[in-house]
Amino acid sequence: MASSAGTFSYDWLILATGIREDFSAWYDIDRDAAAFTQTHFPAAFADAESHRRLKAKLQNFTGGDLVMTIPPMPYRCPPAPYERAGMIAWWMKTRHIKGRLIVLDPNLPALSFDRVFRDSYRDQITYLPQAQVRQVDPYKKRIVTDFDTIDFADAILMPPQQAAGLVWQAGLIEPASDGKPGGWAAHDPVNLHVPGDERVFLVGDLLGKSSPLFGYYPKTGQMAARQGRIAARQIAARAAGKTPETSLPDSACYVINRVEPMEIAHVETLFRLRGDGLIQQTVKQGYNPQPDNDDLRWAQAMFSELGF
């Protein structure tokens, strides 16, 4: 393995490189437009600096149409953009900002959030599901979808996502149905190693499809942590000359549906290995309109598990 610090040999390797933003669907090979978008309309999905730019953007926003695009599935932390939209709408409402957040969502409607948007933020949010972005002009501040041309005062532009660059450099991207690169890493869905190389493990958001029954593992921090433990147990067993036990990850998270009055959703995702060798997913979701710091206790438990 080569890096900027030199070349390293390894007995075992775990790659958890995360994601990168894919602007090619909007700009093809125009890197200047992509860089301009990252600077002026940050998605705040992949790095700390873009979060700081987004915070400054919102602090300076005085009104008008604020557009937020949501990436097509799959992307990192599926509830995150909707949670963010609700928080921005609450912030605009409580500060009496004369503006509107226009959410362009290429995916099927997020029903639980759509309900909150209509009930609590009707004057702050225009939510447009199944709105595929076709063209973006970041200089003229204009977006073209299948149905509308939208001019905006400011924007939070989230392009499609894919596995980080190192996965591409290593030639680990799985092919799509048309034979072209699919954007995410090929892997053994149960053992998490690279196909054909049991010394290299892949965990976290970079993973491609893990089952024809549900597609992708949720691209969340807690899922990456659980997958990391599975990879570590695989390595420990194999290094000791033993056969690793089969183990699948699980995921639980809390999502803020509404800030005030507070409403929280609890999403639990479980997996099991069927007799035919395919992984099956079960998702349980509940709502708590009167939460008692459930999300805080969950976060503290996750921080403890991750060693923070």
pLDDT tens sequence for the chain (308 residues): 656 667 889 999 999 999 999 999 999 999 999 999 999 999 998 888 999 999 999 999 999 999 999 999 999 999 999 999 999 999 999 999 999 999 999 999 998 899 999 999 999 999 999 999 999 999 999 999 998 999 999 999 999 999 999 999 999 999 988 888 899 999 999 999 999 999 999 999 999 999 999 999 999 988 999 999 999 999 999 999 999 999 999 988 899 888 888 889 999 999 999 999 999 999 998 888 777 888 888 888 888 877 76
Q: What is the pLDDT of residue 129?
A: 96
In a domain, residue 250? The reply is no
* DSSP code per residue over 81-108: HHHHHHHHHHHHHHTT--EEEEEE--SS
Domain of 58, in residue numbers: 19-161
In a domain, residue 104? The reply is yes
In a domain, residue 294? The reply is no
Q: What is the pLDDT of residue 2?
A: 59
In a domain, residue 90? The reply is yes
In a domain, residue 38? The reply is yes
Q: Are 260 and 290 in contact (CB under 8 A)?
A: no
Q: What is the pLDDT of residue 1?
A: 60
Beta-carbon contacts of 93 under 8 Å, excluding residues fewer than 6 positions away, are: 121, 123, 124
In a domain, residue 76? The reply is yes
In a domain, residue 86? The reply is yes
* DSSP code per residue over 226-287: HHHHHHHHHHHHHHTT-PPPP----EEEEEEEETTTTEEEEEEEEEEE-TTS-EEEEEEEEE
In a domain, residue 43? The reply is yes
Q: The pTM is what? A: 0.91
Question: CATH no. for residue 120?
Answer: 3.50.50.60
Query: What SS3 class is residue 50?
Result: helix
Q: Are 45 and 161 in contact (CB under 8 A)?
A: yes
Domain total of the chain: 1
Q: What is the pLDDT of residue 237?
A: 95
Q: Which H or E run includes 128?
A: strand 125-128
